[in-house]
Amino acid sequence: MKKRIGVLISGGGTNLQALIDAEKSGIIKSGTIVCVCSNSASAYGLTRAKNAGIPTKVIRKNADCGGDIDEFSRQICVYMKEMQVDVIVLAGFLAIFGGELLREYADRIINIHPSLIPSFCGKGMYGLKVHEAALDYGVKVTGATTHLVNEIVDGGKIIMQKAVYIEDGDTPEILQRRVMEQAEWIILPRSVEYICKGLSDE
């Protein structure tokens, strides 16, 4: 029985597309994406989901939950339960949540972070900021990390990591793209399969 996957997004949905493609190609075979939830109504990832025939929902912390993080977490949790989700994947989800969602889905929420944790991670480190920090620091190798989500930002157990070399002339935008292509889009689908398979084997 395939595990049911819910994906949380905030923007363009390139990692979501990598997951959709990985399911089609058989990299993800122990799970199936059953819904996509965004905290932004304008996220292009919602269009990607609709194009793939995947149900979508928008839950905004301020507009729908009065800015209350616990209510925001509760509403996402309710939707995931309605969709009978087993595993949640954060694919470029830029909102912080906690409470009920973390408790109900303990050890079943996967995040992708665009650095080799514990470098360049934690509160406020997301998107281009991570790549700017890596370039400012002068590291020669960066990459991406998949990890389980707990109450500490980027603090959960590491699932997989993949290194990417920094090249002369890299800008944060160029580096971001290379990390996506050479690391994120490879290890995120593999990590999702790993967790889904592990749950199936229990």
What is the set of active-site residues? 113
| Token digits of residue 144 | 């991406």
Taking the C-alpha atoms of residue 60 and residue 66, their distance in angstroms, rounded to an integer, is: 9
Residue 11: which H helix or E strand, with range?
none
C-alpha distance from residue 36 to each of 51, 94, 117, 134, 139 (Å): 12, 14, 26, 31, 35
SS3 200: helix
Contact 85, 55 (CB under 8 A): no
CA distance between the termini of the chain? 12
CA–CA distances in Å: residue 97 to residues 81, 114, 138? 16, 19, 32
Whose structure tokens read 């997951």? 19
